[in-house]
Amino acid sequence: MEPVITFYPGVTKWDIRKKVWDYIEDNNLANFPRPVHNRIPNFKGASQAAEKLTGLEEFRTSKTIKVNPDKPQQQARFVTLDARKTLLVPTPRLRTGLFNKIVPPEGASKDILKICSTSQGVKEYSVPIGLDAKVQVDLVVVGSVAVSEKGWRIGKGEGFADMEYAMMVSMGAVSQSTIVVTIVHDCQVVDIPEELVDTHDLTVDYILTPSKVIKTECKHPKPKGIIWSKVDLNLLGKIPILKKLREMEKEAGKDVTLKTELPGTIENPSLTEGEGAQDVVGSSNNKTLCSVRKTETTRPDGITTVYIGNIPQNLRVREFKTVLREHDAVPLRLNWQGAKRQAFLDYKDPQTAESVLAALEGLSITGSSIRAELAKSQRSPRNHGAAPRRPKSAEAESSAEVKSLS
């Protein structure tokens, strides 16, 4: 069956997400919470699709199953508990650990199990599972924004599914043979260009939709663990379990050198909760169409500002942040001026700004060629582009609606 959503050549992961989210909303295919943008969509028919789990031989033979905590996987959590299997649910944004084990009351009825399957039930009927626990996960259920019949998967852009799987690899809970299932609406099954799939992206073995079961036969290797050279101290501080995991791997003799400990690297303190998680297990940059201007000048305080113009009119700041994360372009500060279709990005030094300009070169968002260059006030006299000047004072920044990447 041909996908109902198609894409133009040079499409990026963000373009795919945006078009899927828009299609689901425009065709009223979503349940609460809405809008589905920047979420794993809770689509109509999610429960029907999740019921197909029970028909998989891999489900029937599994003892321990990990299911993500999003709303569309609530029925998957219920059928797991109803089959009297051990259910593990990742802690939200990995703030307090990796897993919670759901422990229903003894002799729990189906009604109680349904409560245990809700987000509130996960909080009330669970116990934490530490990294030192000898857990063997037999089946993994993840949410997706888009997935292809080849097994390529795209999440909502924060990288937590990839991170969770990589951490499970590191603690010995999963292996290359562990089955991964995703549950989506039929419209979310699309053609994803193979060049968008990074070495460490999580792929899936089964796709369950309201109308069918797809076995992908995917041969792409799953994440093999945390790439410590892509972890910085800020991210390490925001996901405490990473610290313990790093200590364990260091004791085992593995190289756990962090990104900010490598020669020539600079820590970016702007990464807030959840940001940068996708970089820990690998990411990919994909660009098409745009011109970039460069210079060597900077402000006296060393901060270098990049001007972004021709932003799509209906683009939201949260969506723009996702684009920046995907292109390793997270700034110290983001000055968003969506009404003017422009933004200003502050970076620590000229070298970082130059690398961002290179990363954003040729970027197109939903068909709009993005203009990326240094802000006018920071260009050398010989460069006379028309980019607006960035607000110079803290007060001016405030009036221009400064938004951090939090």
> pLDDT (tens digit, 9 = 90+) per residue, 374-384?
887 655 544 44
pLDDT digits (tens, 9 = 90+) for 73-103: 999 999 999 999 999 998 876 666 678 899 9
More confident residue, 317 or 150: 150
Same domain, 296 and 209: no
Residue 86, pLDDT score:
96
Query: DSSP of 239-274, one letter per residue?
Result: SHHHHHHHHHHHHTT-----GGGSTT----TT--TT
More confident residue, 205 or 391: 205
Query: DSSP of 55-106, one letter per residue?
Result: G-HHHHH-SEEEE--SGGGHHHHHHHHHTT-EEEEEPGGGSS-SEEEE-PPT
Quick one: average pLDDT of 193-213? 90
Asked whether residue 278 is domain-assigned, the answer is no
User: Among 44, 99, 54, 57, which Cα is nearest to 81's?
Assistant: 54
Residue 248, pLDDT score:
85
Same domain, 207 and 299: no
Asked whether residue 281 is domain-assigned, the answer is no
Q: How many domains does the chain have?
A: 2
Most confident of 224-228, 231-235, 287-291: 224-228
Quick one: average pLDDT of 212-226? 89
Asked whether residue 96 is domain-assigned, the answer is yes
pLDDT digits (tens, 9 = 90+) for 252-287: 888 888 876 555 444 443 333 333 454 444 333 333
Beta pairing class for 99-102 and 126-129: antiparallel
Where a domain ends, among 182, 215, 248?
215
Same domain, 60 and 202: yes
pLDDT digits (tens, 9 = 90+) for 174-185: 988 899 999 999
Least confident among 128-142, 214-228, 233-247: 233-247
Asked whether residue 117 is domain-assigned, the answer is yes
Residue 303, pLDDT score:
86
Share of the chain above pLDDT 70, in %: 80
Residue 378, pLDDT score:
59
Beta pairing class for 139-142 and 179-183: parallel
Quick one: average pLDDT of 329-355? 87
Where a domain ends, among 164, 194, 215?
215
Residue 268, pLDDT score:
42
- Inform me whether the pLDDT recorded for 247 exceeds 80: yes
Quick one: average pLDDT of 162-180? 87
CATH code for position 170: 3.40.50.10420
Same domain, 211 and 334: no
Give me the phi and psi of 77, to 5 degrees please.
-65, -40
Residue 98, pLDDT score:
79
Residue 28, pLDDT score:
96
Q: Which amino acid is at 336?
A: W
Where a domain ends, among 215, 247, 277?
215
CATH code for position 386: 3.30.70.330
Least confident among 143-147, 248-252, 299-303: 299-303
End-to-end distance of the chain based on CA atoms, in angstroms?
40
Cβ(7)–Cβ(148) below 8 Å: no
CA trace torsion 365, 369, 373, 375 (10° rounding): -80
Asked whether residue 261 is domain-assigned, the answer is no
CA trace torsion 154, 159, 164, 166 (10° rounding): 90
Residue 332, pLDDT score:
87
pLDDT digits (tens, 9 = 90+) for 31-66: 998 899 989 999 999 999 999 999 999 999 999 999
**Two tokens, residue 293:** 């201007």
Same domain, 42 and 152: yes
Give the domain extent around 68.
13-215
